[in-house]
């Protein structure tokens, strides 16, 4: 046994050595890594997350939007995606530890519910496999994901079994959230107070001498002159005919020439959780009736059924017809309406439970999007695309000329007509800037900063670079090395800092004087005017809303909720850097009529929200414990390699998408 152990240790050491050599060897094939190797990117409780699995998940995220946008454009990072995968592993392992994993029977039942034909029957293994492989790539991986989802739901039910929100709590919260105020308020802000402060030159110089190191310049400063090509201006001179737009329309895929499908629905509401099974049975009976022998039903027949059975008055009177067309959307896979596309025209979907109701849908005819209907969208899209291409091409030509012709004024005059601009609009200049500065008309732009980096000598010209609204061709005018600046160089910033510092010290006192010297909300405007401040009105204010341009604050909500009509806050409220004095000119208590109509649904929603929070906290606790025990490991070298292989986003014309919410 000892000899065997030694052989294993030696073998393992050799294996590790070979692995390290392969991993760190110069010229290692990074393409194999980023393309989907079997390297371990993370380990969670002994369960490995491999690079190929990670890349597959990444592609799934991208394909969710039809592959039109890059990973970063969808608001994702590699770290965020890996965190989601780690959390999924933690949830599955915790469910397994508690014997809450999915059985084979539960897996089969879930698959049969999801993959049904128009008659509501399982589509059969061959068709099921074909769909899964086509959409997900791997049957085993897909079924593993289904098992994890089932286990996650069982774990959620187990962890939150005792979580409940009472009717009284929900009603109290409803009343609190729906009381309305008409407010009058005064914001005492640093910038407003700073405007009135006028320090002397001696005070500014003294402040600079005391804080001199705060103004040290650590990177070279560059003054840049640049020629700007406005993409919108280029677009304005483009002539797009109906023939151009018709050609664009003809190139659209068939699914993009559809406005969507007409859809009818029958809604059965669950008035009381105890009646859920009864309502579900009725919904099943109606769905079976609608499917009949063929799995389909004519529009009029379904309409008559909806008029007699549906409990949604808005659609029932129109035969259950939804007011808007429904279009297939891969990003809305959790929307029950998307199931209509698993049936033929006339096919019946459901019943599906959503909120406190069961829904049965009938898929109607597809409604085509005519050329005239699509024309505005086609015009905007084609103009934007052609304007970008035209601006890019012109910027490239000017950039080549600029490398020989250093006179940017002359170039602006020469090319202004082609850019549909005048020379003054084209020729721009920055002050002395460093990376990270918010440059006027450009903002903080990494691509612009990258174009400036190689410019080190006066009249060095950079490449044409995409910026906000178009393109820029930059030229270095002057460069200053890192240094501790003289007072005169930074006097403006010193004055701003000193004014703000003094203003902040005066804010609370000024706000307190205003609050204490004002008797009621009605008197606040006059009192503010005497101090040179402005009072503003905010009508129909509810808790949680921002107050004017300020953010939200739980502390502010508490104070405002305690105000009676005509009362004024005697203690100023601090939100961010500002102090607020607030008065209630009117207070309207919440109307409980609507709440009582939907009491059960709102109690259920509040309970579900609390359960989600409890479950999230539970998983976070499990993760923290596993991390402290060293059971979660991330290979930072593999992560860095994946980051280096990630292509940069270079096309500013593509839209930014908000981060996708998972789950």
**pLDDT tens across 130-171, in order?**
888 876 667 887 888 888 889 888 999 999 998 888 889 988
Locate 14 and state its tokens. 């050799």
Per-residue confidence (pLDDT) for residue 571, from 0 to 100: 86
Q: Which pairing describes strands 632-634 and 180-188: parallel, antiparallel, or unpaired?
A: unpaired
**Residues 6+ positions from 86 with CB-CB distance below 8 Å:** 42, 44, 49, 623, 632
Whole-model pTM: value is: 0.46
Q: Using 50, 70 and 90 to split pLDDT, how confident is the model at 605? A: confident
Per-residue confidence (pLDDT) for residue 350, from 0 to 100: 87
Per-residue confidence (pLDDT) for residue 67, from 0 to 100: 54
Q: Using 50, 70 and 90 to split pLDDT, how confident is the model at 595? A: confident
pLDDT over 90 at 359, yes or no = yes
Q: Picking from 18-22, 247-251, 269-273, 322-326, which range would have the lowest pLDDT averaged per residue? A: 18-22
**Secondary element (H or E) of residue 362:** strand 357-368
Locate 146 and state its tokens. 């289904």
Higher-scoring residue by pLDDT: 456, 601: 456
Decide: 587 and 563 in contact? Cβ < 8 Å. yes
Locate 355 and state its tokens. 């909120």
Decide: 74 and 661 in contact? Cβ < 8 Å. no
Dihedral over Cα of 457, 462, 466, 470: its sign: positive
**If you ran DSSP here, which 8-state letter would residue 28 be given?**
-
Decide: 347 and 340 in contact? Cβ < 8 Å. yes
Per-residue confidence (pLDDT) for residue 68, from 0 to 100: 52
Name the burial class of residue 158, with classes exposed (0-12), middle (13-18) and buried (19+) by CB atoms within 10 angstroms of its CB.
Answer: middle
Helices 78-97 and 599-628, packing angle to 10 deg: 100
Tell me: the pLDDT tens digits for 194-216? Answer: 888 888 999 899 989 999 888 88
Higher-scoring residue by pLDDT: 363, 149: 363
Tell me: the pLDDT tens digits for 474-511? Answer: 999 999 999 888 888 888 889 998 888 888 888 888 88
Dihedral over Cα of 131, 134, 136, 137: its sign: positive
Quick check: bond before 351 cis, omega within 30?
Answer: yes
Residue % of the chain over a pLDDT of 70: 89
Based on DSSP, count helices (H) and strands (E) in the chain, helices before strands.
25, 14
**Residues 6+ positions from 143 with CB-CB distance below 8 Å:** 107, 111
Give the bridge partners for 479, in sequence order: 222
Per-residue confidence (pLDDT) for residue 65, from 0 to 100: 56
d(CA 606, CA 656): 33
73-87 core/surface letters (b: 16 or more CB in 10 A; e: else): bbebebeebbeebbb
Half-sphere exposure of 520 (CA within 13 A, CB side): 6
pLDDT over 70 at 389, yes or no = yes
Higher-scoring residue by pLDDT: 559, 644: 559
The residue count for the chain = 663
pLDDT over 80 at 243, yes or no = yes
Dihedral over Cα of 216, 219, 220, 222: its sign: negative
User: Among candidates 386, 343, 382, which has minimal Cα distance to 366?
Assistant: 343
Half-sphere exposure of 378 (CA within 13 A, CB side): 22
Highest mean pLDDT among 237-251, 395-409, 496-510: 395-409
d(CA 389, CA 387): 5
Q: Using 50, 70 and 90 to split pLDDT, how confident is the model at 642? A: confident
Q: Using 50, 70 and 90 to split pLDDT, how confident is the model at 278? A: confident
Greatest pairwise CA separation for the chain in angstroms = 94
| Average pLDDT for the chain | 83
**If you ran DSSP here, which 8-state letter would residue 49 be given?**
E
d(CA 184, CA 186): 7
d(CA 348, CA 554): 48
Q: Using 50, 70 and 90 to split pLDDT, how confident is the model at 652? A: very low
């Amino acid at each position: 046994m000892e000899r065997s152990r030694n052989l294993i240790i030696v073998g393992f050491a050799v294996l590790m050595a070979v692995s390290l050599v392969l991993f760190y060897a110069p010229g290692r094939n990074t393409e194999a890594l980023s393309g989907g190797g079997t390297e371990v990117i993370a380990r969670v409780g002994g369960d490995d997350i491999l690079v190929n699995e990670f890349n597959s998940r990444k592609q799934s995220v991208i394909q969710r939007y039809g592959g039109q946008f890059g990973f970063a454009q969808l608001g994702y990072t590699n770290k965020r995606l890996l965190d989601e995968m780690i959390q999924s592993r933690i949830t599955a392992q915790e469910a397994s530890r508690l014997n809450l994993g999915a059985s084979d029977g539960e897996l089969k039942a879930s698959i049969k519910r999801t993959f049904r034909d128009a008659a509501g029957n399982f589509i059969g293994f061959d068709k099921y496999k074909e769909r899964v492989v086509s959409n997900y790539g791997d049957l085993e991986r897909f079924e593993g994901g289904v098992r994890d989802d089932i286990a996650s739901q069982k774990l959620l039910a187990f962890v939150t079994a005792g979580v409940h929100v009472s009717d009284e709590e929900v009603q109290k919260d409803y009343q609190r959230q729906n009381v309305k105020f008409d407010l009058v308020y005064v914001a005492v802000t640093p910038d407003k107070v700073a405007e009135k402060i006028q320090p002397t030159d001696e005070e500014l110089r003294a402040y600079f001498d005391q804080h001199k190191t705060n103004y040290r310049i650590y990177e070279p400063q560059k003054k840049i002159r640049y020629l700007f090509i406005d993409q919108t201006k280029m677009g304005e001179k483009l002539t797009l005919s109906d023939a151009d737009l018709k050609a664009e329309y003809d190139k659209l895929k068939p699914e993009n020439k559809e406005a969507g499908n007409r859809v009818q629905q029958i809604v059965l509401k669950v008035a009381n959780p105890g009646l859920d099974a009864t309502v579900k049975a009725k919904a099943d009976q109606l769905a079976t009736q609608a499917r009949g022998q063929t799995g389909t039903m004519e529009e009029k027949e379904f309409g008559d059924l909806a008029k007699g059975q549906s409990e949604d008055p808005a659609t029932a009177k129109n035969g259950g017809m939804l007011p808007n067309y429904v279009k297939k959307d891969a990003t809305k896979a959790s929307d029950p309406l998307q199931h209509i596309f698993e049936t033929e025209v006339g096919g019946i979907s459901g019943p599906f439970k959503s909120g406190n109701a069961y829904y049965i849908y009938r898929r109607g005819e597809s409604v085509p999007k005519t050329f005239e209907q699509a024309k505005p969208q086609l015009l905007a899209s084609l103009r934007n695309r052609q304007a970008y291409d035209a601006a890019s091409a012109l910027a490239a030509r000017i950039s080549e000329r600029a490398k020989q012709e250093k006179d940017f004024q002359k170039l602006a005059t020469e090319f202004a007509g082609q850019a549909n601009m005048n020379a003054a609009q084209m020729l721009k200049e920055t002050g002395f800037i460093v990376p990270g500065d918010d440059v006027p008309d450009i903002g903080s732009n990494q691509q612009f900063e990258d174009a400036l980096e190689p410019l080190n000598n006066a009249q060095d010209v950079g490449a044409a670079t995409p910026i906000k609204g178009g393109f820029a061709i930059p030229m270095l005018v002057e460069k200053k090395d890192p240094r501790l600046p003289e007072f005169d160089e930074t006097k403006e910033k010193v004055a701003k800092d000193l004014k703000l510092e003094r203003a902040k010290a005066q804010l609370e006192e000024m706000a307190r004087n205003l609050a204490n010297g004002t008797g009621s909300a009605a008197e606040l405007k006059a009192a503010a005017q005497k101090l040179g401040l402005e009072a503003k009105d905010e009508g129909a204010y509810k808790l949680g809303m921002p107050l004017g341009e300020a953010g939200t604050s739980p502390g502010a909500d508490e104070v405002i909720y305690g105000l009676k009509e005509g009362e004024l806050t005697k203690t100023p409220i601090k939100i961010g850097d500002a102090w607020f004095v607030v008065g209630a000119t009117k207070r309207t208590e919440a109307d409980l009529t609507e709440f009582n109509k939907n009491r059960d649904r709102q109690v259920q929603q509040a309970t579900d929200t609390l359960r989600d929070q409890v479950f999230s906290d539970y998983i976070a606790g499990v993760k923290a414990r596993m991390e402290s025990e060293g059971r979660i490991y991330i290979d930072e070298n593999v992560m860095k390699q994946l980051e280096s292989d990630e292509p940069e986003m270079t096309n500013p014309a593509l839209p930014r998408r908000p981060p996708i919410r998972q789950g």
